[in-house]
Chain A
């Protein structure tokens, strides 16, 4: 009888044991789940070209190691810049953009800001914090006084020259447009070099970038973003166009420059066929590569200008903004802070050879040890000029490109072409 009692208890115990195990399991699962939910990292998405996405990979890994609560997801887009812009544009036009961060070219900023797709960043960064950034690059992220983009890697146009040939002729690198023409003609006459100066003259965005430098170097302007005034038909602008035409007419530049983009001009210069070249910073590494005929024979300096004015470099570069529709602006900002920090930029630049957006890095010991020309590059970057930061920049640029190309290929006189460009630009701006 006693036995049977024990047997009953056992039975009870067994039954309860299963209940107990089941309840414990449920609790554990629920518990784990709630821990997992609270620790689920927030995903921050950004779109960029597939090429650059690969270069970003080490930065992403480092960021995620330091910030386990954020999952930084890079979406690989096409390598062509305009296609990336199209993808961002459609995602915003359709309403809820899947991207929390916008990695953008400097010229997109006003358009995206004017369309209301970007979050204002002025409150997030103090005056002191922004001091180290290149002024031109930071200003390129402003639209109507408000900051929308923090620069990550910078870019600027400059003049490359053949140091060896200039030294042999006992000439200093040219400061003014007149000196550039004079030196070119002298060395060409002595058969030291085939051509004097190559630049980008094809009808495309690079033409506008090249032209703002010459335009500023002649004391002119394209569009004043504050007053919306158009300066393309002023005497300074016409003089700038005439200078470009003169380089072709006087035989300093090959007539083919009107069909050249960056790469054509780089190959031309790198093969030792030209004395001067207008191009971006990427040329330095390629022209100094082992198999380059001009290795160790070149120098760089800020662009030439008309006597009495000063030199100008077209500001380019990429930076990050926050999408207005993001659910996680604070986490997105933490990504920006990390990516644009001096330490991250330094690591990125040492690996890829891009140009930093922070002034201090141009003279950083490690960077200078690897890229000896960066101190000169800083001089170029400090003379930078922006393409007009207006919302309708893409349209204004297309108008200028069309008329400028017509003037350079002798289909219109500089006066007529610039008058046409100015009229259409004024119509565009509603003036």
Chain B
């Protein structure tokens, strides 16, 4: 009995201590989302003289027939998954190299993180010049090698523009992934490999059976981080293509920006934000579920 009151008191103190942090989180995360959800039920645009008018779910039904929204979701999905897969594969490769002991290791590791440290807008501007059809260095190299006859208009062609933005994003963020994975690799004890090798395992088998399962937590974290960031990509695209040509690289964040800033359609913009937010949550939940299942099936304990 006495113990129970003691525990209850402890719990109360615990809650009291947690409340300030909880309030702060509610204020900066929950409130904006709820506010956006509230706003999405109103029409507040030029048609209503920028005054909010209750519209129920009209904004959501409009979205169903909005081809541009679905196109931007499609573009974002292509961009996110292509970039994610390339970054994980390349990041893993770089991490494995950096994990070796060689002279100048510290220097190489520092250089490898540099792209991540650069401001996106600036590196995007540099890539815009690299891909320039008249003066770009990429076309220059290809012309000198004799692989192409005339300069390719990289950012002017819908498919190539998407490729170009993915390349720029991979260049920048692979180093982030590789540093995360490197941290995971260094936590694996070396004797595991030695024991495995004595039992006659090939390097590939060691990688499959020791490295991969043990750095799964790091891979998951890197993938989730990168997914959330790529899905909301704005600066890179805005600088490189502004969503063009013909909307081929318009990401959902650019569409929301145009809706709110250019069209002054605040209600519909809020509805777009809510739906994008829900899509993000669903995909993250799905990914977490699949990864958990994968872990169970490979028999790795975490």
Contacts and interface: CB of A to CB of B under 8 A. Distances in A.
B156 A259 contact: yes
The 4 lowest CB-CB distance pairs between A and B, nearest first, are A391-B46, A203-B246, A114-B46, A395-B263
Contact of B46 (A203, A392, A423): A392
Contacts of B265: 392, 395
Contact of B261 (A89, A116, A392, A423): A89
Contacts of B247: 203, 402
Contacts of B45: 391-392
B50 A402 contact: no
A410 to B, nearest CB: 13
Contact of B67 (A203, A392, A424): A424
A405 B246 contact: yes
Contact of A391 (B47, B67, B261): B47
Contacts of B156: 259
B12 interface: no
Interface of A: 86, 89, 93, 111, 114-116, 202-203, 259, 391-392, 394-395, 398-399, 402, 405, 420, 423-424, 427-430
Interface in B251-267: 258, 261-265
Contacts of B62: 427-428
A310 B258 CA distance: 36
Contact of A394 (B50, B246, B263): B263
Given A391-B46, A394-B262, 14 more contacts: A86-B261, A93-B264, A111-B46, A111-B264, A114-B46, A116-B49, A259-B156, A392-B47, A392-B263, A402-B67, A402-B68, A420-B67, A430-B43, A430-B58
A120 to B, nearest CB: 14
Contacts of A86: 261-262
A237 B247 CA distance: 23
Given A114-B49, A116-B49, A427 B65 contact: yes
B49 A402 contact: no
Interface string B48-89: 011000000010001001111000000000000000000000
B245 interface: yes
16 contacts: A89-B261, A89-B262, A93-B264, A116-B50, A202-B246, A203-B245, A391-B46, A392-B45, A392-B265, A402-B68, A420-B67, A424-B65, A424-B67, A427-B65, A428-B62, A429-B47
A335 to B, nearest CB: 27
A257 to B, nearest CB: 14
B20 to A, nearest CB: 32
Contact of B65 (A203, A395, A402, A423): A423
Contacts of B65: 423-424, 427
Interface size class of chain B, counting residues whose CB lies under 8 Å from the partner chain: 20 to 34
Nearest to B66: A424
Given A89-B264, A395-B263, A402-B68, A115 B47 contact: no
A372 B245 CA distance: 39
Contacts of A89: 261-262, 264
Nearest to B265: A395
Contacts of B58: 430
Contacts of B246: 202-203, 402, 405
A278 to B, nearest CB: 20
A111 B68 CA distance: 21
B46 A115 contact: yes
Contacts of B244: 203
A115 B262 CA distance: 12
A397 to B, nearest CB: 10
Interface string B234-248: 000000000011110
Given A402-B247, A424-B65, A424-B66, A115 B263 contact: no
Nearest to B156: A259
Nearest to A85: B262
A227 to B, nearest CB: 15
Contacts of A111: 46, 264
The listed residue with most B CB atoms (<10 A of its CB), out of A93, A111, A391, A398, is: A391
A391 B46 CA distance: 6
A211 to B, nearest CB: 15
A176 to B, nearest CB: 31
A395 B262 CA distance: 8
A395 B50 CA distance: 15
A312 B162 CA distance: 38
Contacts of A427: 62, 65-66
Contact of B264 (A115, A259, A402): A115
A60 to B, nearest CB: 30
Contacts of A114: 46-47, 49
Nearest to A110: B46
The listed residue with most A CB atoms (<10 A of its CB), out of B47, B244, B265, is: B47
A169 B47 CA distance: 53
A424 B66 CA distance: 7
Contacts of A259: 156, 245
Nearest to A93: B264
A255 to B, nearest CB: 14
A428 B246 CA distance: 20
A115 B156 CA distance: 35
A116 B45 CA distance: 12
Contacts of B43: 430
A423 B61 CA distance: 13
A115 B49 contact: yes
A378 to B, nearest CB: 34
B74 to A, nearest CB: 14
Contacts of B47: 114, 391-392, 429-430
A116 B51 CA distance: 11
Contacts of B263: 392, 394-395
The listed residue with most A CB atoms (<10 A of its CB), out of B43, B66, B261, B264, is: B264
A392 B45 CA distance: 9
B99 to A, nearest CB: 47
B274 to A, nearest CB: 18
